[in-house]
Amino acid sequence: MNIPQLIPVGDPSAETFTINLGPQHPATHGVLRVKLEMDGEFIVNAQPVPGYIHRMHEKMGENRTYAQYLPNTSRIDYLSAMTYTHAFVGAVEKAAKIEVPLRAEYIRVITSELNRISSHLVGWGAWIMDLGGFTPILYAFDDREKILDLLEAITGSRLTYCYYRFGGVCDDVDQTFIDGCKAFVPYMRERMKMYKKLVTGNIIFRKRVEGIGPISAEMCRKYGACGPVLRGSGVNYDVRKAEPYSIYNQFDFDIPVYQECDSLARYLVRMDEIEQSLRIIEQACAKIPEGPFQGKVPRILKLPVGDTCFATECGRGRLLVRITSDGKEEAYRIRLRTPCFTNLSLFEEASQGMMLADAISLMASLDLVIPDIDR
């Protein structure tokens, strides 16, 4: 990519102008404002301005019991609600030494991977719509509905799930759910072939993403980027393999990694991850054991004094939950290290010198969920 010779930021002789992208703009995928300093159609500087939808999730954890805080976790990233709740219950279980039955772990893996696929489908459809293509998001939501139907049957919800409990899950799954998951796997694999013809091989789409928005591995490390953004820059890091939790070490799956570092690489990582999630679901449904779905949990739950950390791999990267306890029924401090905030942080540097239209493609490739940033 040929980057034009731009006037330095803050130069008084600069003939630049400032525009706002957001805070209410479809391309920002939520209530995010980006203050752009432009030299014609080229970006001199892009300053993200979060905070428009801040809801104080961390502070709420200080005045609620651990059980009362559970519904908050699915509101942080509503597209990856299962994995966010998994991180919180995992941290509490680790601190309280609560044993989780094997059947419950299988149910958590199946539901988390279904949730990952539905999250990637929304990101995929929204990305193409940002670039001017409307049809793909209709296919994405059509397929996502099948996942939501499955999850609704066992959770009672279609978006902000509160299904996981300390020591397991709140209700068991039946054979109808397992059969539905087994039927969904071959169905989705056929749809992925159609997605490849419709979008991945589309020359118009490839011109908008191939070679656009290069993000080096060093830039990812500099800002703490994670998830598909990091793996699209050639770094093989996934919490499910690097920091195994639950029973992920019992499944055979690969971590998609691409070395090209552009928007297309980040796109391909997510598309490949859908197939890997299908592999995990297929194996889990075939091997799910009988037994209890809920372990023994104290009626009054108080964590021992100290710090506990637990990480999961969400749809957008590594989520770390840190709980600091002073021995009471509520946490002294809850700290959430979410992936979207760190992934957004690199946008200012990565977008310098880009045309505005290409910067929209770059931002879409980060797959941001703004409530995750404004937690």
Inside any domain, residue 265: yes
Whether residue 133 lies inside any domain: the answer is yes
CB 369 within 8 A of CB 78: yes
Chain-centre distance of CA 44, in angstroms? Answer: 29
Over residues 91-123, the pLDDT tens digits come to 999 999 999 999 999 999 999 999 999 999 999
Strand partners, 18: 37
**Contact yes or no for 245/271 (Cβ under 8 A):** no
Percent of the chain whose predicted confidence (pLDDT) is above 70: 96
Is 235's pLDDT higher than 70? Answer: yes
Q: State how many domains the chain has.
A: 1
Does the residue 48 lie in any domain? no
CATH code for position 101: 1.10.645.10
Interatomic CA distance for residues 114 and 148, integer angstroms? 9
Q: Is the pLDDT of residue 26 over 80?
A: yes
- Say if residue 23 is preceded by a cis peptide, omega within 30 of 0: yes
Cα–Cα–Cα angle for 115, 160, 183, nearest 5°?
A: 35
Cβ neighbours of residue 6 closer than 8 Å, sequence gap 6 or more: 39, 42, 44, 352, 353
Phi, psi of 44 (to 5 degrees): -85, -45
- The pTM for the full model equals 0.93
The answer to the question of residue 27 being in a domain is no
Taking the C-alpha atoms of residue 333 and residue 330, their distance in angstroms, rounded to an integer, is: 9
Decide if pLDDT at 3 tops 50: no
Domain annotation covers residue 175: yes
Does the pLDDT of residue 179 top 50, yes or no?
A: yes
Q: Which of 53, 32, 35 is nearest to 44 (CA)?
A: 35
Question: What six digits make up the tokens of 373?
Answer: 């940033």
Domain containing 246 equals 57-373
Residue 105 falls inside a structural domain: yes
Q: Is residue 21 part of a domain?
A: no
- Kindly report the average pLDDT of the chain as a whole number: 93
Does residue 183 lie in a domain region? yes
Q: What is the per-residue pLDDT across 198-220, written as a single tens digit (0 to 9) for each?
A: 999 999 999 999 999 999 999 99
Confidence of residue 2 (pLDDT cuts 50, 70, 90): very low
Determine the pLDDT at residue 74.
Answer: 93
Give the tens place of pLDDT for each residue, 245-299: 999 999 999 999 999 999 999 999 999 999 999 999 999 999 999 999 999 999 9
